[in-house]
Amino acid sequence: MRLLNELFNFILLTSSKYGIDESHDVSHSMNVLHYAQDIYEAQVYIYPPLKHYERVIYIAALLHDMCDKKYMDEIEGLNEICNYLKPRIEEKEIAMVKNIVSTMSYSKVKVNGFPEFGEYMWAYHVVREADLLSAYDFDRCMIYHLKQNNGDIDSSFANASKLFENRVFKHYDDGLLLTEYSKENYMQYQSNALNRIGAWKKLLRNPIL
Q: What domains are there in the chain, each with its CATH number? A: 3-205 (1.10.3210.10)
Q: What is the pLDDT of residue 98?
A: 98
Q: What is the pLDDT of residue 150?
A: 85
Q: Which helix (H) or strand (E) holds 135?
A: none
Query: Which residues lie closer than 8 Å to 7 by C-beta, 6 or more apart?
Result: 59, 62, 63
Q: What is the pLDDT of residue 176?
A: 98
Output Rg (C-alpha) for the chain, integer angstroms. Answer: 17
Would you give the end-to-end CA distance of the chain in angstroms? 48
pLDDT in tens, the chain (209 residues): 699 999 999 999 999 999 999 899 999 999 999 999 999 999 999 999 999 999 999 999 999 999 999 999 999 999 999 999 999 999 999 999 999 999 999 999 999 999 999 999 999 999 999 999 999 999 999 999 998 888 899 999 999 999 999 999 999 999 999 999 999 999 999 999 999 999 999 999 999 99
Burial track 95-125 (b if 16+ CB lie within 10 A, e otherwise): ebbbbbbbbbbbeebeeeebeebeebbbbbb
The alpha carbon dihedral of 108, 114, 117, 123 has a sign of positive
H helices present in the chain, as ranges: 3-18, 26-46, 54-63, 74-85, 91-101, 106-112, 121-134, 138-148, 153-166, 180-205
Dist. CA 64–CA 70, nearest whole Å = 13
Dist. CA 47–CA 133, nearest whole Å = 21
